[in-house]
């Protein structure tokens, strides 16, 4: 090494610097153990999101996610690979991705995510309730008609009326487009309607 440095010192300053700098840096890194190692990140806790959810049975679905908290940045990591289990698969099953499918009305069912890391086992839970389908909207209304100069009294295909305390205008098969109105009038929603044709808005 000394012989190599003497040879380099006999060169012109500019050339010697270009040759010596890589050698010096290599010696520095070798003295420091070849560079800096990135510290390992360790999982310190696990949560399930959402904490609770609802879906309609049968066949309704809801996604759950395993979220890890680590001791170094990035400290929060979503969608960890986890082993998922359901406390009652007859009511709600869950697949390997955390997607829950309601099989029947019931619950709440506990869903458990398990993650192994650094020789430790972390678990977290969420719940799902499988509910019945909501009842169809209730309300009474009448078919809307139009009255331009050439087609006075033809139905528009829309039903107007009150539902859940508010006025709604909904396209309805009960109000065939172009059919003549049988008895014209005006409803509480201030629409020109066929009072002889009822419908559900």
Q: Are residues 66 and 124 in the same domain?
A: yes
Distance CA 40, CA 45 (A): 16
Query: Could you read off the pLDDT of 78-87 as tens digits, one per residue?
Result: 999 999 999 9
Which among 5-14, 32-41, 121-130 has the top mean pLDDT? 121-130
Residue 166, in any domain of the structure: yes
Query: Could you read off the pLDDT of 12-43 as tens digits, one per residue?
Result: 555 444 544 554 555 544 445 544 567 889 99
The answer to whether residue 173 scores a pLDDT higher than 60 is yes
Q: Are residues 96 and 176 in the same domain?
A: no
Q: Are residues 89 and 127 in the same domain?
A: yes
Q: Are residues 153 and 187 in the same domain?
A: yes
pLDDT band at 90 (very low <50, low <70, confident <90, very high): very high
Query: Considering 88, 109, 131, which residue would you say is the last residue of a domain?
Result: 131
Distance CA 191, CA 201 (A): 13
Q: Are residues 47 and 126 in the same domain?
A: yes
Query: Considering 101, 131, 161, which residue would you say is the last residue of a domain?
Result: 131
Of 112, 64, 106, 105, the C-alpha closest to 86 is 112
Q: Are residues 63 and 126 in the same domain?
A: yes
Query: Could you read off the pLDDT of 131-171 as tens digits, one per residue?
Result: 998 776 666 888 888 765 444 678 888 888 888 778 888 88
Distance CA 48, CA 123 (A): 9
Residue 27 is part of which domain span? 2-31
Q: Are residues 26 and 65 in the same domain?
A: no
């Amino acid at each position: 090494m000394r012989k190599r440095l003497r040879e380099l010192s006999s060169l012109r300053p500019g050339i010697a610097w270009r040759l010596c700098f890589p050698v010096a840096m290599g010696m520095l890194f070798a003295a420091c153990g070849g560079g800096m190692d990135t510290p390992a990140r360790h999982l310190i806790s696990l949560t399930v999101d959402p904490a609770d959810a609802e879906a309609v049975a049968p066949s309704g679905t809801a996604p759950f996610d395993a979220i890890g908290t680590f001791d170094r940045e990035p400290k929060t990591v979503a969608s960890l690979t986890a082993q998922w289990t359901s406390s009652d698969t007859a009511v709600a099953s869950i697949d390997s991705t955390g997607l829950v499918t309601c099989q029947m009305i019931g619950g709440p069912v506990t869903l458990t995510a398990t993650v192994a890391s650094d020789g430790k086992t972390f678990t977290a839970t969420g719940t799902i309730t499988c509910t019945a389908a909501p009842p169809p909207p209730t309300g009474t209304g009448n078919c809307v008609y139009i009255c331009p100069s050439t087609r006075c009294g033809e139905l528009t295909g829309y039903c107007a009326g009150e539902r859940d305390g508010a006025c709604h205008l909904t396209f309805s098969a009960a109000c065939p487009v172009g059919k003549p109105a049988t008895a014209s009038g005006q409803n509480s929603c201030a629409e020109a309607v066929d009072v002889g044709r009822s419908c559900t808005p």
